[in-house]
Amino acid sequence: MNASDRVRTRFDVVIVGGGFAGISVAARLRRRRPGLSIAVVEPSDRHYYQPAWTLVGGGAYDIARTCRDQASMIPSGVRWIRARCTGFEPSLNIIQLGEGGAVGYRMLVVAAGLQLDWDRIEGLAATLGENGVTSNYDYAYAPYTWECIRNWRGGRAVFTQPLPPFKCAGAPQKILYLAADHWRRRGLTAEIEFYNAGGAMFSVPFFSAALDEVMAYYDARAHTARTLVAVEGPARKAWFETTRDGQVQREQISFDLLHVVPPQSAPAFIRASALADAAGWVEVDKETLQHARYENIFSLGDVCSAPTSKTAAAVKNQIPVVAGNLLRVLEGEGELARYDGYASCPLVTSRGKVMLAEFRYGGEVTPSFPLEPRVPRRLYWWLKKFFLPHLYWDWLTRGRGFPQTHKPRRFKAALPSTALHRHPARARR
């Protein structure tokens, strides 16, 4: 059977992935060019608003509000192909589907997200959701995080962070702050440990120093260059590895609560494809988001190789670039638009306050508001809990544009005195 015999049908645009990035591009294209034939290839029947899972784990959001039927998210006039993409034949403008089918395209958008590699941590999958082992990186376990925090009676709480890349650079520590704040408000004691496989609290030094102070306020100890490699849930033990002087050393610790952020990678069908770079991500020009070798292919979101944080805020600014550039290539006119690497992380430092980190390529600080961004504010809590979900469900995934308000602003290097949760009676460790 030749390639053309396997093709079920052809579309002007095929989008692989029905998450935030894929649905939003489909909706935007549909609004701008109603005559285009567009298909979204997505096997799941559920669509998740993942940025709220940290709040769910901290007892500040209802998990049911983070999930909708996928059918309700597909834009009117867009074909939903409920199947799994298994490969690409870019020289023939074909994607492969499970069970041997194929779909043809004129333009392709790859928005397949990333995968959570739970099995790379020995014993983790067998104990998630019990024995005090939890993770906000899954819809099934975020409520258990809150159960563990709410029922806390003291002991050691351990929070982990893998090496990048992973979704939302601030999520591993945000739940630590929510837990620590909850326990402090109730007069409960906790030995709080943060095991970070990297070397700093945040990739942008401007914000990292402020987060060091938040950790100190909660008397939380940060351990760097420690990678979680194994968990024994019933025994409440975890093992971390670090490399010193070229030698790998393993450390065993006990815990009463263990919040795990799993290592993450590009999906296997992406890594094995002709679209991938050496690290397995869809290889794109970091500004135009056009594929490095195939001009009729674009990619955005977690799966693309653009060197920025994998956040919903980054996707928000990638959507108009991809949609606009796709139409320019399809119609053969116009200079390609450019994405500046913008990403944002609402760093929840307590229940009711958020430090809003906004930046672009090179770690340049680019706030949307003319306010010192290292100061945790109630305004940003409102933004995180109420406005951003509305923007997601009712605006961006419906194809509506939203103005870009970020821009470079200069601030003093010294931390502002109002930025920190000062507690002079507590000594830093």
Active site residues: 168, 345
Q: Three-state SS for 118?
A: helix
CA–CA gap between residue 181 and residue 156 (Å, rounded): 15
Q: Are 178 and 58 in contact (CB under 8 A)?
A: yes
CA–CA gap between residue 97 and residue 232 (Å, rounded): 38
**302-307: long-range contacts at Cβ-Cβ below 8 A with a sequence spacing of 24 or more?**
302/21, 302/113, 302/114, 302/165, 302/167, 303/17, 303/110, 303/111, 303/112, 303/113, 303/114, 303/266, 303/267, 303/270, 304/110, 305/277, 305/279, 305/281, 306/339, 306/341, 307/341, 307/361
CA–CA gap between residue 158 and residue 148 (Å, rounded): 12
Q: 403, exposed or middle or buried, with CB in 10 Å at 0-12, 13-18, 19+?
A: exposed
Q: Three-state SS for 117?
A: coil
Q: Three-state SS for 38?
A: strand
CA–CA gap between residue 149 and residue 132 (Å, rounded): 9
CA–CA gap between residue 316 and residue 187 (Å, rounded): 40
How many beta carbons lie within 10 A of that of residue 14, not counting itself? 28
The residues facing 70 across adjacent strands are none
How many beta carbons lie within 10 A of that of residue 258, not counting itself? 29
> What does the radius of gyration of the chain's CA atoms come to, in whole angstroms?
22
Q: Three-state SS for 19?
A: coil
Q: Are 280 and 263 in contact (CB under 8 A)?
A: no
The residues facing 355 across adjacent strands are 347
Backbone angles phi, psi at 385, to 5 degrees: -85, -30
Backbone angles phi, psi at 52, to 5 degrees: -85, -5
